[in-house]
A and B are shown apart, each in its own frame.
Chain A
Amino acid sequence: MKIMTRRERWVWRATLAGVAGILVLLVWQNVTTRRIASIAQAISSSDSIIPNESSFCEAPHRAICRRGGPFTDPTGTVRRDVSGEVKALRMYEEIVRGNPDWDREQWDEALVRKIYTAERVKRVRMAESFVRKTIKRWIQKQPVRIFSKAEKRLLLTRLDTVVVELPIPASVYGDARELFTKSDVFYERDADGHLRLRIGGAYLLAAKSYFNLVFTLAHELAHSIDPCEVLYLGEEVRYYKRLVACFIHSGWVESRKDRVECRTRDQSAEVFADWLAVQVTHAVLQTLTKNYDQTALLGAVANSVRDLCQQEESWEELDLDWHPSPEVRIRSIFLGHPGIRRLIQCKKVYPAKGYCGMDSIG
C-alpha cells in the first residue's frame, strides 16, 4: 500500500472538500429554486392554497369563508355569488332574442330544458333519495325515550308527504316562473296545504358539488319535521323541547328578549334544519370520501356548507334574522359535529360546551 505524501494528502482533502461543496451548493440551489417556485405559484394563485385540517379544526369559518376562489372536490365546486343567476339570465336572454316570435311558455320551456338536464335531475334525485333514507333511518333508530311510536309515525309520514318538484315541463313551476333564473332552494306549504321542495335553476348552475346538494336538500327536507312545523300541526314531539333548550343553551339559537317561539325572531327551526342536515352530510362524507386524499376531503367538507358563508342582509325592517350567523352555522353546528371533526382528524373532537342532541346521534 502506497503511503501518500503530505502534499498528496492535502490535494486529496481539497478535492474532497471541493466535491462536497459543489454537492451542497447543488442541493441548496435545487431546494431554493423549488421554494421560490412554490412561493411564486402561491402568490400568483392564492386561491389554490388549500387550508390544512388544522385551520379547518381551529378556525373553520375563516378557513371556509375567507377564501377567494372556490374549493374543488371530486364531485364539483360551489359558487356563492350571483354567477348562477347571471348565467341563467343570459341563457334566458339568448332564448328570448333568438326566438322573438315565441310566447312566454315556449321561452320558459326552452330554458328549463337547458338547465334541468337529465344528468342534473338524476343527481338531484340521487341526493334526494340518500337524504330521505338517512333522515328516515335516524328517526327509526331512536329509542322510545327520544321518539315514541306515535311521534315516529308523525315524522315519517310528514317526510313522505313532501314532494321534491322539478320541472320539466316548465308548468311545474307555473306559479313561480321567475324561479328558473333564481338560486333559491326552499321548502314550502302551498295554498292547498301541499308540502313541496323546489329548486331554482340558477342553483343547479352554481352549485355542482354533490356534498352541497346533499346538505341543501337535507336542510330543506328537515324543515318538514322541524319544531315549528310540528307546532303548526298542533302536535308535540317531546324530545324537541330538550333539543331546542340545548340549542339556546349552546348559543346556536339566540336567546333574545323579544323571541316568541316559532313566531318572532326565533331561530329554532333553522338551527334544527342545519343540525339534522349536518348529520346527513356526515353520512355522505363518510360514504363517499373514503378514497379521497386530504385536499379532496377538505374540499368536500368546505363545499358542503360553502354557500352558508354569506348571510342575507336585512332590508327595510324585514325580520330576516331567523338564520343564525354563518359563524355559528359553520363553526358550531357543522364543524362542531364530532363525526365530521373525527373525519378530518381534528385533535380536539368535542367543543367546550358539548354538541347538542348527542343522545339521538348515537
Chain B
Amino acid sequence: MKSLFFLLAVLVLSNCAHVPTKESLLQSGPTSWSTAVRDSGVEVGYLRGQNVHRCVASAQGGTFTLQSYLDQELLKKASIKEQDYRVLVGRVDDVLSQKNLESSMPLCRAPFKLMLRIGKDSRSARGCWSAPESRELRDLVQDLELALVDTEKRIPN
C-alpha cells in the first residue's frame, strides 16, 4: 500500500514539476511571464469527421505567427500582434488549468489534443471536442480562425 502511495506521489510530482503556469510565472515577477511568452508555442489538433485540423501559434525572435492546417497541409498562415499572442497564450493557459478538461463523454468521436510550450517545458491535455467541457477551447479556436482571415481584428480576452 505504501509503495502505491509513493508511486502515486512520484507520478503527481513528475507531472507538475515541469509545468510553468501563468500564475506561477507571474508570482516570480511580472517580467517572468512576459519573457517566457516570447519563446513559446501553442498547438491544438482535433479530429472531426474524416479530417484532422490543427491550429499552431508560435513566438520566435519577436515574430508571432498563426497557422492553420488540414491534415498535414498548410491552409493559411498569418502574423499576429504580440498583444494578441499574449492573450492567446493566456487563454490556452486558462483552458489547461481547467480541472475537468478530460472529457466525461464515454464515447468520443472527435478527440483533441492541446499543447502549450513555454521555453523548454510543455503542458498538454486531451479531451473530446464536442464535450461541454471543451467549450472554452472551441471558442478560442473560432477566434483564431477569424484572426487568420481578419488580421486587424483583436483576439478577445
Contacts and interface: CB of A to CB of B under 8 A. Distances in A.
B130 A189 contact: yes
A186 B111 CA distance: 13
B51 A312 contact: yes
A96 B110 contact: no
B49 A220 contact: yes
A183 B53 CA distance: 10
Interface in A226-257: 228-229, 232
A318 B50 contact: no
A81 B142 CA distance: 22
Nearest to B50: A312
B108 to A, nearest CB: 9
A349 interface: no
Interface in B2-33: none
Contact of A82 (B70, B106, B150): B70
Interface string B112-143: 11010000000010100011100100100110
Interface string A195-239: 000001000000000000000000010010000110010000000
A281 to B, nearest CB: 16
Nearest to B111: A318
Contacts of B141: 178
Contacts of A147: none
Contact of B146 (A81, A104, A184): A104
Interface in B87-122: 105-107, 109-113, 115
Task: Summarize B's interface: helix, strand, loop or mixed.
Answer: mixed
B71 to A, nearest CB: 6
B48 interface: yes
Contact of A185 (B49, B72, B75): B49
A191 B146 CA distance: 24
B115 A316 contact: yes
Contacts of A317: 113
Contacts of A86: 75
A185 B109 CA distance: 12
A81 B111 contact: no
Contacts of A312: 47, 50-52, 71
Nearest to B115: A316
Interface string B37-55: 0000001010111111110
A126 interface: no
A302 B111 CA distance: 30
A313 interface: yes
Interface in A87-106: 89, 92-93, 96, 100, 104
A8 interface: no
A273 B42 CA distance: 34
Given A82-B70, A96-B150, A313-B52, A187 B109 contact: yes
16 contacts: A89-B76, A89-B148, A178-B142, A181-B145, A183-B70, A184-B50, A185-B50, A188-B110, A307-B50, A308-B50, A312-B71, A313-B71, A316-B45, A318-B113, A320-B47, A320-B111
> When A and B form their complex, which 9 residue pairs have the shortest distance between CB atoms, in order from nearest?
A186-B49, A191-B132, A184-B49, A178-B145, A312-B52, A184-B48, A315-B45, A232-B107, A188-B130
